[in-house]
Amino acid sequence: MMAATETYPRRLIEVDLPIATVSEHARDGRSVHHGHITAIHIWWARKPLPSCRAAALAALLIDPLDPACPEAFKTSARDVLGQLYGTRVDGDDEGLRRGLLRLVSDFASWQRATDPAYRDAARTLASSAHASLFESGPSFLADPFCGGGSIPLEGLRLGAASYASDLNPVATLISKVTLEYVQRFGDKLFAAVGQWGARITQQAKQELQRFYPVVDGQMPVAYISFRRIQCEGPKCGADVVLTSKFHLSRRGERSIGLRLAGWDGPTPRFEIAEGNLRSFLGPTVRRGAATCLKCGYTIPVERVREQLSTRSGGAPSALLVAVALGGPSGERSFRAPTDEDRAALAAASNAVAELERTRSDDLPGEPLPPIGTLGFRVQRYGMVRWRDLFTPRQLLTLTTLARLVRESMPDDRTPNGLGVAVRSCLALAVDRLCDYQNTGCSWNPSGSALPHLFTRQALPIIWDYGEANPLASSSGSWTGAVEHVARGLRNAHVDTHGADVGMASASHHPLPTDCAHLLVTDPPYYDAIPYADLSDFFYVWLRRMLGADHPELFKTALVPREDEAIVNPIAGKDRDYYRRIMTAALAEARRVTRPDGIGVIIFAHKSTSGWEDLLAAMIAAGWIITASWPIDTENASRLHVRNSAVLGSSIHLVCRPREHRDGRLITDTVGDWRDILSALPKRITEWMPRLAREGIVGADAIFACIGPALELFSRYARVEKVSGAIVPLDEYLEQVWATVSREALAMIFNEAETAGLEEDARITAMWLWTLAGPGSSATSEGAEDEPIDDDGGGDDALAGFSLEYDAAQKIAQGLGARLEALDHIVEVKGETARLLAVAERTNHLFGGADAAPAPKRLSKKKQMTIFAELDHAAEEQGWSDVGAPKAGATTIDRVHQAMLLFASGRGEALKRFLVQEGVGQSPLFWKLVQSFSALYPSGSDEKRWVDGVLARKKGLGFG
């Protein structure tokens, strides 16, 4: 067999990374107060700076334990680390590796990243490593999916030359500001942005203050309105207000809210009142259907949509119900709307009508994406143009600010001059305002504040919305937007040369061949985020402000989509399209990377199909995957589904070009299928305990095993069986899943003690382990005062624990089982497999072997049904007062029976079940109870119940 690959000195990231510490810094680094450039402009799924910084530094450094590591680098590393930490790193190279990992760990923190001593040490070592491997000059880092610019910014911080590009013009503009203008102009830019921001504040106040009246000397901070439709009940015709809540502020047990005070003809009139939360009316909209406060008639969701569609979403005709006021201590008070408030709304409507007549191009009339686009719900309610997302007053505010930004610094129109930079920064401040100035922001009673729209990566329908006052000094104000952007600009200044930024498709890249020493990039995550569709929200305003300054970015009506790497069925982009585009993009990435260079590709997706397509693209594009590291970069509050396997980490896939030294792709190496399968278990067995020590478990750990597993497979141009048949990647990935499943189960249980456990217990344990993660809990995401997307789509979430069907099937296959034979514990619907909640198994466990599980939504009220089923079984089978239920057929059945007996308060029955029935005599029973106590999410019913059973163990004499 021919040599598999060309070999080069290993980089530090290929052998080790302090993932736990870097993850901690990454979580902290999400705060803009710790330097994250999110303050400049929102970009979806932007990676925290600490993880980017650590990955880039570890990829630049050389592993001192590698036999080919140059002595010059090791000498430099000992000197630099000794000066930094005050202790010379003598002795073997193992100690030197630990010292380098310590630097990577320390430099990931914001405090150390801005400390000149640590910054200079990191730059010196990166430069020394580069000089030891390559010619003179700085390292060159390329990022063809730059998004918000986090990765190339950290390349600049390390002293590398960086090239950043993106197909999306909004992302390109953000990166141009961050990586070019901030570095080029520095303090001069910051001062000019502050100066012109203040000028615009004064001018905007003169033009807009009549639309935001100050009543009785109190400045409004927000206006709260309800969309409304007309009641279709017999002989009614009243206005039906659409709202998810009537409370405005929650202060412990007391709340301020709205109470119905009467009717002005067909229109309800509300008063501000104080009381406990339950004293206010409940929502008028449930699952998209609306109930009339006057006659009680319920208008179905289809008619709600039709009525709002005739009103372009209903914002122009919404009912103003309350005005939030700012106080000196920051506390909010509220008043009812006045005639002055209503007159201001009418004046704004008239002003927009005049604007439409005279300067209609100032208004964003471009269309929204079609119905069915991922994350978009508003089109069904008549919001089909981008302007429909705003009230007339918001449109007037944004068009006024856009004009003032366009006219700022009129004497400096030099391409890429300071004037362009200042207008670009101020345009980003308008975008920040835009994120608050729209009808997708629902007033938050808990914080008495207005959240921004993109707290989620979606555009949901919001019935009751808050309208910020841009002239105030609170959320959604112009002065706040400018200050926020200015802070982000300062945090992005890294005291070095700037990067080059361009708008380019990653599939057809302008960089020359073999120019990059390091490629680090964060490509789109399959079907997770519709970047182009979402960014149109900002693009339509940016184009109106900066079209003359950046004609190359804003030459199309909407964001270009032709080569967007995404799965978006409504746009005709399926899995095959994604794999084809991603393969082309990653082949271009390999082309621009030197044969002796290194790549880091960041990916996070919960579906096996997403991973299979990304990995297939990497291998087809000619990359060898050498390592993978999970770093906790995802915000836990983003999880879409309760108890579902969503990655909390982004997996950093380390890779090398599969090329000869002259840059030609290696195409003639063949791997032996038997050898690879023989080596795979050892790789996984060595790897998973390391991950567990770092707190990496569940789906994160599964995908973190991809690197060491695929290094075996991807080093060859192809892998063949004895027959000569080529082994496809998906077949190998099935083997990886199976190996990981077996190893995980061995970690959960001591196989010597649990050889008798049935497959339903093994599957359940592995299933729960897959769902596990840092801080795993079963607390529902949907807090009462969060924005509610209640449009009637889909079912209420069932209890239980969900996995993508394909992932569940692979787990089962890896453990030698079939999901179809496990219908007593697993329910399959479409693309989702759900491990039934214990309570759903009540009939099966106590009603006989033929009883089918009955799914239930496990609110506290519905748990009464569970206990009623137990009561019925106890009476029918005669163990209500004496005796015990018959023990289930498998160990997990008996554990679940004990849990339900505890949950229903049947302490004596539980005792008889464990003692008289002999269930508690089985070591396997208690081993499974102990394991489930560790595996069930904290806060879940199952966790409380299994712990209750475990607490009875010693008291009943079972040791």
Mean pLDDT of 855-877: 61
Mean pLDDT of 327-335: 78
pLDDT in tens, 625-644: 999 888 877 554 443 333 33
Mean pLDDT of 808-824: 85
pLDDT in tens, 48-70: 899 999 999 999 999 999 999 99
The reported pLDDT for the residue numbered 612 is 86
**Sorting pLDDT into bands at 50, 70 and 90, what band is 686?**
confident
**Where are any strands of DSSP class E within 525-589?**
none
Extract the tokens encoding 552: 């190359």
The reported pLDDT for the residue numbered 588 is 97
Mean pLDDT of 609-628: 91
- Examine the pLDDT at 227 and tell me if it is beyond 80: yes
- Examine the pLDDT at 646 and tell me if it is beyond 60: no
The reported pLDDT for the residue numbered 679 is 94
- Could you give the count of Cα atoms lying within 13 Å of 527 in the half-sphere of its Cβ? 20
Residue 918 CA, chain-centre distance (Å), reads 48
Mean pLDDT of 378-407: 96
Mean pLDDT of 917-946: 90
The 10 Å CB-count burial string (b at 16+, else e) for 914-926 is beebebbebebbb
pLDDT averaged over the chain? 87
Quote the percentage of the chain above a pLDDT of 90: 58
What lies within 8 Å, CB to CB, of 446 at 6+ separation is: 250, 783, 785
The reported pLDDT for the residue numbered 361 is 94
Give the integer Cα–Cα distance in Å for 11 and 596.
Answer: 11
- Residues 396, 541, 438, CA angle at the centre, nearest 5°? 55
Give the integer Cα–Cα distance in Å for 822 and 817.
Answer: 8
DSSP 482: H
pLDDT in tens, 281-316: 999 999 999 999 999 999 999 999 999 999 999 999
- Examine the pLDDT at 852 and tell me if it is beyond 60: no
Extract the tokens encoding 105: 């760990």
Strand-strand pairing, 220-230 and 516-521: unpaired
- Examine the pLDDT at 816 and tell me if it is beyond 50: yes
- Examine the pLDDT at 9 and tell me if it is beyond 70: yes
The reported pLDDT for the residue numbered 635 is 53
pLDDT in tens, 243-287: 999 999 987 777 899 999 999 999 999 999 998 888 889 999 999
DSSP 573: B
Q: Of 95-104, 661-670, 683-692, which gets the smallest average pLDDT? A: 683-692
Neighbours of 423 (CB within 10 A): 25
The reported pLDDT for the residue numbered 335 is 92
Cβ contact 464:284 at 8 Å: no
The reported pLDDT for the residue numbered 648 is 55
**Sorting pLDDT into bands at 50, 70 and 90, what band is 790?**
low
- Examine the pLDDT at 788 and tell me if it is beyond 70: no
Cβ contact 453:378 at 8 Å: no
Residue 723 CA, chain-centre distance (Å), reads 44
- Examine the pLDDT at 6 and tell me if it is beyond 70: no
- Examine the pLDDT at 602 and tell me if it is beyond 70: yes
- Could you give the count of Cα atoms lying within 13 Å of 734 in the half-sphere of its Cβ? 10
The reported pLDDT for the residue numbered 791 is 61
**Where are any strands of DSSP class E within 677-829?**
718-720, 801-804, 826-829
Mean pLDDT of 424-451: 92
The reported pLDDT for the residue numbered 697 is 77
- Could you give the count of Cα atoms lying within 13 Å of 119 in the half-sphere of its Cβ? 15
Cβ contact 223:320 at 8 Å: yes
Amino acid at 461: I
**Sorting pLDDT into bands at 50, 70 and 90, what band is 387?**
very high
